[in-house]
Amino acid sequence: MKRWTFDDIPDQAGRTVLVTGANSGIGFEAARMLVKKRATVVLACRDAKKGEDALRRIEAERPAGQAVLAALDLADLDLADLESVATFATRFAQTHGRLDLLINNAGLMVPPLGRTRQGHELQFGTNHLGHFALTARLLPLLQATPDARVTVVSSVSQRLGRIDFDDLDWQRRAYRRWPAYGQSKLANMLFALELQRRLDAAGSALKVTASHPGLAVTDLGRTSGIVRVFESLLGASPAEAALTTLRAATDPAAAGGSYWGPAGLTGLNGPPVLAQPCKAARDEAVAARLFDASESLVGVAFDFSATTGSKRAAA
């Protein structure tokens, strides 16, 4: 089987892409490569200085003669603050006439116990709820854009996760960083699959895919010594690891609901291929319950009523 590489990414001219957490690691590499494929890429970053540095680095590599990279205020998306998400989404919709690709990439990995501005456990609140709310608020723009796609970045750590509906925010249990991370990444996967099911039921043509990067040498695992050890032994470069996200995001053959990861024997490195979500991620009853609970927690509901760009409208 032919190895899927950067050269297989289709031309992205005329397409608008939003990448969360694009200032470093896999998000940065995904944004950088999409710019090289002529996309207009918006870097959604919480830290203004890091975002500006990333923007300069990408612009320096932009092919000669290519249009200036489009970007919002790079300080204005904090996924740990639902008010920031709402403000960002409103401004994005006002300043952009289309959204062809939303890559929900940003995340935290095993930090000490923390809380979002609204009081949610930091990993669940950032990795899942922030992206859930962002996608819901940008759904009308995505629905109105032909051939649009949402790509959700999960992790092999979804296998460690369990959705505890009695204590999603770790208010009653003693906090454990790895199970909390696993819950957040399992929630990412459940969200991607359930969103695709609900879009299909509504007759929407919007496609949702998911990916995991395997083990990559990035700053994500900086709070875990064991992660640093494994990264040094088995980790792929951020550019290599970003290819799973990019295949999920751009491969015309990637079906809605598909999940992509590295081809290596351990699933930790290698070229991007189809992967299998863990058993818990395929539980449709849990996915539906989590989706409904998440709408309540973020205070915004998905509106599937739009027909522009839908399968029905195209028929």
Q: Could you read off the pLDDT of 50-103 as tens digits, one per residue?
A: 999 999 898 887 666 555 444 433 547 999 999 999 999 999 999 999 999 999
Length of the chain as a residue count = 315
- Among the listed residues 39, 77, 229, the one whose alpha carbon sits nearest the alpha carbon of residue 31: 39
Question: In whole angstroms, what is the distance from residue 162 CA to residue 164 CA?
Answer: 6
121-163 residue pLDDT tens: 999 999 999 999 999 999 999 999 999 999 999 999 999 999 9
269-299 residue pLDDT tens: 889 999 999 999 999 999 999 999 999 999 9
pTM: 0.91
- pLDDT score of 315: 39
Residue with tokens 């699933």: 267
Question: In whole angstroms, what is the distance from residue 135 CA to residue 131 CA?
Answer: 6
Give the mean pLDDT of the chain. Answer: 89
What average pLDDT does the segment 25-30 reach? 95
- Give how far Cα 158 sits from Cα of 181, 187, 228, Å: 8, 8, 19
Instruction: Decide which of 2.40.10.10, 3.40.50.720, 1.20.140.10, 3.40.190.10 is the CATH code for 7-303.
Output: 3.40.50.720
- Report the catalytic residues: 181
211-238 residue pLDDT tens: 999 887 655 544 455 555 444 445 578 8
